[in-house]
Amino acid sequence: MTIQDIHKLFLDCKSVSTDTRKISKNDMFFALKGENFNGNTFAEQAIKLGAKYVIIDEATYKIDNQTILVDNVLKTLQELATYHRNYLGIKIIALTGSNGKTTTKELINAVLSEKYRTTATKGNLNNHIGVPLTLLSMNNQTELGIVEMGANHKKEIEFLCNIAMPDYGYITNFGKAHLEGFGGVEGVIEGKSEMYTHLINYNKTIFVNADNSIQLEKTKDAKTIKFGTSSGSDVITINLLDSESYVKVAYKNQQIQSQLIGDYNFGNIAAAIAIGDYFKVSLENIKAAIENYTPNNNRSQIISKGTNNIILDAYNANPTSMEAALTNFNNQKAKHKIVFLGDMFELGKSSQLEHQRIVKLVQNMSFKRKYFIGEHFYLSKNNDPNSLFFKSYDKFKEYNKDLEISNSLLLIKGSRGMALERIMDLLDY
């Protein structure tokens, strides 16, 4: 059966599913394989649960005409996504970067949805499975698609671009993330810049932060839309007014007050404004979208509990985002500031050095208490009287069953695997 034939069947389905626990009636189920599971074994169950068709790649599990046998389920999912994307002819905006991808994606979606019917990546479904699922969630009502792309090694962004075939692209930044897979910062720049290469090869448009010299250099021969704090006929000018509490920006003689903290979010906001400007979203609607957007899912959330205010930024962490968060936190106006930091993962041979660097940075800041949690931070343990080191979250929890903290500003930040949002349950307000 050809991809075109499978696409015809797909159009008769409600949506796509890869998990029988979340299947809906009339879904098309893709029996993906993983290290510890074989989706083919769930083919019969998927049909019983209401799937209209099931895509399998092992003949043993063929039941009837509802089960479609292909050579490779994952490859079929990816090829179907590209076919569907071309079938719809939707303009696709792709974005990647070391930090701020998901927040920027949500801001862009908030701005563009003021004028257009958009479909954007849900959560962080931004890999070789998530990107196809995002494309297949689009339909003939979608006017603009916003696709987030993540990567932890070279050639991954190139691969995802070949699936999504974006018309526009944006890279938030190049930072110290996934150093193990990329082989260092230069590898990160090379890997993320695969999006630039793809867009240039197809003569597509790139949004560029003109305040970032690396981005300017990488796109000097490209078709670009520039934005930033500089003025000029070829730059959409956006300025940072304040970041002591929430980020406030100036755009076209208007002040826009966001609900995001940290000057590191300025670039994310500016990108959304610039993309909205390019797609002719009105100033009034851009302002409303930015001002009404609130972060969630443990990303720079501001939470008030009792007499404490908490910055919950426990979705992910790498040395670049950690340093930015700490610098912002240090600049906040509060009498008592307390940090809870969890290990940063996927740093490879740079891990110990980067954790030591963060410990030194924190200990030179005026925080009342400093908690370091995880094996990597534990290796940097020293005799600073205001610093406490714990080899694991369980050790931290055992020692701090009731954290008696009041009238303080707290920062909770660590990699996703540390799940430091659990600290919220320990705080005794």
Q: Which domains does the chain have, with CATH numbers?
A: 3-71 (3.40.1390.10), 89-292 (3.40.1190.10), 301-428 (3.90.190.20)
**Residue 368 clears pLDDT 80, i.e. is over it:** yes
**pLDDT at res. 428:** 65
Task: Please say if the pLDDT value at position 147 is more than 90.
Answer: yes
Q: Give just the sign of the alpha carbon dihedral 402, 261, 360, 356.
A: positive
For the chain, the distance separating the N- and C-terminal CA atoms, rounded to the nearest angstrom, is 61
**Residue type (1 letter), 43:** A
Gyration radius from the chain CA atoms:
23
Taking the C-alpha atoms of residue 423 and residue 175, their distance in angstroms, rounded to an integer, is: 27
Exposure letters 338-348 (e unless 16+ CB within 10 A, then b): bbbbbbbbebe
Q: What angle do CA 120, 219, 241 make, to 5 degrees?
A: 65
> For residue 29, which of 11, 66, 54 has the smallest C-alpha distance?
54
Residue 17, strand partner residues: 29
State the average pLDDT for the chain: 94
| Pairwise CA distance, residues 321 & 308, whole Å | 23
Residues 38-92 have pLDDT tens digits of 999 999 999 999 999 999 999 999 999 999 999 999 999 999 999 999 999 999 9
Q: How confident is the model at residue 230 (pLDDT cuts 50, 70, 90)?
A: confident
- 280-300 pLDDT tens trace: 999 999 999 999 999 887 778
pLDDT higher than threshold 90 for residue 184:
no
Give the pairing of strands 246-251 and 235-242. Answer: antiparallel
Q: What is the mean pLDDT of residues 351-366?
A: 95
Would the pLDDT of 178 be above 90? no
Tell me the pLDDT tens digit for each residue of 233-246: 899 999 999 988 89
Task: Give residue 357's pLDDT.
Answer: 96
Is residue 15 within 8 A of residue 24, CB to CB? The reply is yes
Q: Indicate the pTM of the whole model.
A: 0.91
Structure tokens at 12: 């008769």
Mean pLDDT of 196-222: 96
- Contacting residues for 328 by C-beta, under 8 A, at least 6 apart: 243, 261, 262, 263, 264
Contact 147, 164 (CB under 8 A): yes
- CB contact at 8 A, 367 and 334: no
Kind plus residue range of the DSSP H or E element containing 191:
helix 185-192
Q: Quick one: what percent of the chain has pLDDT higher than 90?
A: 82
Number of H-type helices and E-type strands within the chain: 16, 21
Closest CA to 262 of 241, 246, 248: 246
Pairing of strands 223-228, 235-242: parallel
Q: Is the pLDDT of residue 401 over 80?
A: no
Residue 324, C-beta contacts closer than 8 angstroms, at least 6 positions apart = 99, 262, 263, 264
